[in-house]
Amino acid sequence: MRRRMSGVLFVVCALAVAMLTAGNAWTQTASAEKAPLYTYVSEWAVPRAMWADYQKSQTQEDEMMKKLVADGTLTSFGSFSVLNHQEGSPTHGSWFAAHSMANLMKVLEGLRASPDSANPILSASKHWDLIMESKDYNAHSGSFKNGYLRVGSWKYKAGASDPEGKIMKATMVAMLEKLLSDGALHSYQIDEEVVHSQNPGGFHVAIVANGAEGIDKFNAAIDESGKKNPAAWAGFGGLLDEEGHRDFLAHVDAMTVK
């Protein structure tokens, strides 16, 4: 998706075709516009000697989260262990999602009031929180333990514009929907921060792949999509700051979707 600009005329033509393609896709899906999905993400940098104890504590929390999904308070939850470690970065984390900030805050307050909030493992760990909003998302219902969470983070180029997300829907969303339909993914979300703890102007594509094979299928789909619809993907690439991309990979230890 990264490329060098070869000329203003090419870029203008590519974006024009991309917007036309995206416009057709948007016409077909506008009636199915989804309600916002809010996701609370907690990330922890746990000392290595405490990893086993952290996992034990997280397993207990996962059981509580399953009940909140079952009663409809949450739409999903998950917990994960990071695979591409970086110094000073998270080693573990969890998320839970709901269709209202009220339900999200209800669950958060319950966690803060629980006895486990004073767990010495958490006190010894560095911690980050993110609150995300998504209008492009989908998932298979059920509980999964074979997932791999991959998050790609991008920054929009200064002055870039994608009214109503038409280019995004014609490229990334269309590709992710097909992967979900084919069973390569358990879920996907395209998120932006609703409470900004980072600089605005970026977005995150979060997928949970169905096993490690799902990651291969995701990578192959990106390459294949670019070949089949080069103009639309050139339009997508034209939105992005080439220096603003980061990736995150984790094993999903537990996950349940309503």
pLDDT at 258 over 90: yes
The C-alpha atoms of residue 89 and residue 85 are separated, in whole angstroms, by 7
Neighbours of 59 (CB within 10 A): 12
Q: Is the dihedral of CA 222, 227, 232, 236 positive or negative?
A: positive
Query: pLDDT by residue (tens digit) across 55-96?
Result: 999 999 999 999 999 999 999 999 999 999 988 899 999 999
Q: Domain holding 204: CATH number?
A: 3.30.70.100
In which domain, by residue range, is 162 found? 8-26+34-257
What average pLDDT does the structure give for the chain? 86
pLDDT given at position 13: 35
Give the burial class of 165: count Cβ atoms within 10 A of its Cβ; 0-12 exposed, 13-18 middle, 19 or more buried: middle
pLDDT over 90 percentage in the chain: 69
In angstroms, the first-to-last Cα distance of the chain is: 33
- Model confidence at 163, pLDDT cuts 50, 70, 90, reads confident
Average pLDDT score over residue span 126-136: 96
Give residue 201's pLDDT. Answer: 75
Alpha helix ranges (H) inside 71-129? 101-113, 120-123
Distances (CA, A) of 164 to 63, 76, 133, 161: 38, 26, 15, 9
**What's the pLDDT score for residue 159?**
84
- Token pair for 106: 């209800």
Is position 164 within any domain?
yes
Q: Is residue 3 one of the residues assigned to a domain?
A: no
CA distance 231 to 11: 9
Indicate whether 69 belongs to any domain. yes
pLDDT digit string (tens) for 166-181? 999 999 999 999 999 9
How many domains does the chain divide into? Answer: 1
Please check whether residue 2 lies inside any domain of the structure: no
In a domain, 1, yes or no: no
Does some domain include residue 135? Answer: yes
Establish if 236 belongs to a structural domain.
yes
Collapsing DSSP states into helix, strand and coil, what is residue 212? helix
Neighbouring CB atoms inside 10 A of 192's CB total: 14
Q: DSSP H helical segments within the chain, as ranges?
A: 8-29, 51-70, 101-113, 120-123, 166-168, 174-181, 211-228, 230-237
**pLDDT score, position 150:** 97
What are phi and psi for residue 51, nearest 5 degrees? -60, -45
- Interatomic CA distance for residues 255 and 145, integer angstroms: 6
Work out the average pLDDT over 111-130. Answer: 89
Q: Note whether residue 201 is domain-resident.
A: yes
pTM: 0.84
